[in-house]
Structure 1
Amino acid sequence: MKKTGLFLAFALLAAGTASAQKKHFDYKFYGQIRTDLFYNSRSNSETVDGLFYMYPKDEARDPNGEDLNGIPSGNFYTLYTRLGVDVKGPKLGHGIRPSAKVEVDFRGSGTSYSTVRIRHAYFNLDFKKHSSLLVGQTWHPLYGDVAPDIMNLNMGAPYQPFSRAPQARYRFHQKKFQLTAAAIWQSQYLAVGPADNKVGTVSTKKSQDFLKNGLTPEFYLGLDYKTPHLLAGVGVEMMSMTPRTTSDITKENSAGDTYSETYRVHERITSLSYEAHVKYQKESFLLAAKSVLGSNLTQTSTVGGYGITATDPVTGEQEYTPLKTSHTWVNVMYGKKLRGGLFGGYLKNLGATEKVNGLIGAGLDLDQLATATAEISYNLPNWKFGVEYSYCNAWYGSNDEKGKVVDTHRVDNHRIVAVALFQF
């Protein structure tokens, strides 16, 4: 894997100097060296060994009453160092202008760090009649063109949907309006589903199979209003996936002995999510915000899922309903050389619209989350040095018959991040 990473890095370097060899092609090589030093006051739900931070874990008391998750931690990483190349190719027929991007970092996947990972890999066709077609992997449309300007690598998750995904995205521009339509699949950021095929299983795993077996990609449709300083828009996302294709059900015969049978089942969970976003930017000032009413958006680094509403007594086939979650964030930044800002996020578990007898997803015992962040950075050409403080509190409890969380208690985390960044 390390050899593959070195090969990709050298390939990107070679692409940056290949313009003299490819007629009518333009190449722009870029990258960054990023270092992250962080501290947390307790254990958290996180990935990349704490670099991608989500929210504090619930209390877990030992026999002496000590909180097993009340353990502070910290580390230093360079995993989000990046290399990339932007390519412009010769025009195709009828004035079509092709371009492409390949960008990698060294985050790896899962718990395998310091290995090359594809961030972006796509080609884009710009048509002369105000439209474009992008095919490949880039930001999920729910992440879109409005995201917080913060130092934490989670970019506002779980309040901000966070995912890069394979997709086919069409955009149409008319004066100040932009229409976006996309079909999206899953690769690195995956939906959560049942860990096995046993009836009533609520233990989970992340897998491409849930969307793949549903034979339907995610769909997104959005409309934006754009001026030189203002961007405002709305969007809707639909996902329809198959939690299980077979069901393992335990039965009992007349003698009282139990035995197991496996049945082919036809299950599906379909959900709709909605979002609204706005960004105003002029000179040194930035104001951005987004609000999402999400249903089963676990593939975008947030919380949620779905519940089991009914089970066939013969085959074990299950019916489901999505759980709804509301998440909103606001970000204000000001300055150039010396730049400071604030970020605030709030998330609420809204539960299901009908009774459930089992929940499948992530963060389902969370009632609400709230985060407040303050940062300051010193910026020079190609350089950035900054410090960010983040305070997050999470309310945990138990689920009622509709998946809402009741009888809550609060846990807190204090996080400090120091960043040094060199861009080229």
Structure 2
Amino acid sequence: MKKQFSIHLILFLNFTLFSYSQTTDSDRAFGIKWSGFVKTDVMYDTRQTVNAREGHFNILPSVENLVDGEDLNNQSNFNILSIHSRIKGAITGPDFFGMKTSGVIEAAFFGNTNETTGEFRLRHAFVKLSNNKIDIIVGQYWHPMFVTEVFPSVYSFNTGVPFQPFARNPQIRITTKGKFKFIGVLYTERDFQTSGASLSQSGIPQVHAQLQFGSVKNTIGGVGFNFKSARPELGKDNISSTAFVAYLRSRIGKVTWKAEATYGENMTDVLQIGGFGINGNGDYVSNSTFSTWTELMGDFSNSNMEWGIFGGYAKNGGFGEAITYVNGFFGNSVESAYRVSPRIGWKSGNLKIGLEAEYTNAQYGGINESGDITSTTDTVDNYRLLTTAIYKF
């Protein structure tokens, strides 16, 4: 494993040495510009959690694990990790049949699985074509329900999961320009996949359509629709599901307000509560999930200090009918969850030091005869105290 990592690192460093500069008749400079950040997080949890990468990507407090009347998950955890650090290369080059060209390659040390924590992994890699009417992206980029103009600015790397959809996908994306934008995406799955089913084996790409209005400097909002068809098993029928998203970001004086709501079925690929089951006839049935979050943030007057507060809520809508099997991300266990997370940070030059408190509450349950999720166990909660240092370059 160490040898493989060393090879990847050497190849990457060799690639960083390849930087060129040239000009065209318009004197536009071409080449590659490197940026990124070094980030270290110090984390303390009052309870064991459902997480990824040694607890760094915190999701929910773990369900009770009773042994002789003692809850073994009711124990604290502490860690210090720098695996969120990343590097990004923004590439520019000559026009392509009258369209401006650019590209991005970005990687981090987060690994692709818990076993590869600390290893180099690909985050984004795409080519972009632009003119005064449209942008076209081909490659790996954010899932369209992760709206880059409106997402939580929390210090925690979980970025609001499981209340905020989170994934990166290989895709073809077209975005029109203007005060009213249309965003159309065809995409598949790789690092973030539907639990228990294959999108590629379904033979049908995911489809997303979104309408967006406004501008990031003032007020921006939008609505989107998503369609997915995945195949749980070769020789079996596909299971199709839909999802909807609505979002808004606005500046009120010196305060920025953000809000988003999603409703969908079988949304495990974007790290949402949900999944699918099989009914008495052997047919696949999707689980439904509603989630919402909001955030207020701003800077203190005449200082280099910033503040923010995030709140999120998720509700498991169940299956709507009796099922005999469940496959999914908490599809049969979390009835609802919520989170409140205030933060404060100090900024100077390229360095920021931040302090964030995160309280997450989860109500675990079970599935009744009607396919609804019921609260059958006690509520569990976790307090996370996070201190972060991030140096951008």
| TM-score normalised per structure 2 | 0.92
Aligned to 2:221: 232
Aligned to 2:208: 220
Aligned to 2:163: 159
Q: Which range moves more in the overlay, 345-354 or 46-55? A: 345-354
**Matched letter for residue 347 of structure 2:** N
Per the alignment, do residues 102 and 287 of structure 1 end up closer, same or farther by CA in structure 2, a change over 3 Å counting?
A: same
Conservation of the 8 A alpha-carbon contact between 1:349 and 1:405? yes
Task: Measure how far apart 1:284 and its partner are.
Answer: 4.4
Identity of aligned residues (%): 28
Aligned residues: 379
Conservation of the 8 A alpha-carbon contact between 1:359 and 1:403? no
Aligned to 1:197: none
Aligned to 1:137: 140
Task: Measure how far apart 1:216 and its partner are.
Answer: 1.0
The match for 2:120 among 116, 123, 133 is 116
2 CA distance for matches of 1:31 and 1:8? 18
**Matched letter for residue 232 of structure 2:** P
Aligned to 1:258: none
Task: Measure how far apart 1:19 and its partner are.
Answer: 2.4
| Structural mapping, 1:33-112, within 5 Å | 33-63=38-68, 65-93=69-97, 95-111=98-114, 112=116
Structure 2, unaligned stretches of length 5 or more? none
Aligned to 2:268: 298
2 CA distance for matches of 1:5 and 1:386? 32
Task: Measure how far apart 1:25 and its partner are.
Answer: 1.6
2 CA distance for matches of 1:187 and 1:21? 37
1:331 aligns with 2:295: yes
The match for 1:187 among 166, 187, 190 is 190
Task: Measure how far apart 1:82 and its partner are.
Answer: 0.8
Task: Measure how far apart 1:281 and its partner are.
Answer: 3.6
| TM-score normalised per structure 1 | 0.86
Per the alignment, do residues 422 and 220 of structure 1 end up closer, same or farther by CA in structure 2, a change over 3 Å counting?
A: same
The match for 2:326 among 353, 359, 380 is 359
Task: Measure how far apart 1:350 and its partner are.
Answer: 0.8
Conservation of the 8 A alpha-carbon contact between 1:357 and 1:401? no
1:172 aligns with 2:176: yes
Aligned to 1:31: 36
**Matched letter for residue 3 of structure 1:** S
**Matched letter for residue 243 of structure 1:** P
**Matched letter for residue 235 of structure 1:** G
Conservation of the 8 A alpha-carbon contact between 2:280 and 2:322? no
Per the alignment, do residues 402 and 180 of structure 1 end up closer, same or farther by CA in structure 2, a change over 3 Å counting?
A: farther
Aligned to 2:129: 125
**Matched letter for residue 46 of structure 1:** N
Conservation of the 8 A alpha-carbon contact between 2:335 and 2:375? no
SS of the counterpart of 2:146?
coil
**Matched letter for residue 19 of structure 1:** S
| Structural mapping, 1:196-345, within 5 Å | 210-227=198-215, 228-245=217-234, 265-281=235-251, 284-311=254-281, 318-335=282-299, 337-345=304-312
Find runs of 4+ consecutive structure 1 residues off by over 4 angstroms.
20-24
Conservation of the 8 A alpha-carbon contact between 2:271 and 2:329? no
Per the alignment, do residues 296 and 67 of structure 1 end up closer, same or farther by CA in structure 2, a change over 3 Å counting?
A: same
1:7 aligns with 2:10: yes
- Max Rg structure: 1
Conservation of the 8 A alpha-carbon contact between 2:106 and 2:125? yes
2 CA distance for matches of 1:385 and 1:88? 32
2 CA distance for matches of 1:266 and 1:188? 24
Structure 1, unaligned stretches of length 5 or more? 194-208, 246-264, 312-317
1 CA distance for matches of 2:161 and 2:344? 20
1:417 aligns with 2:381: no
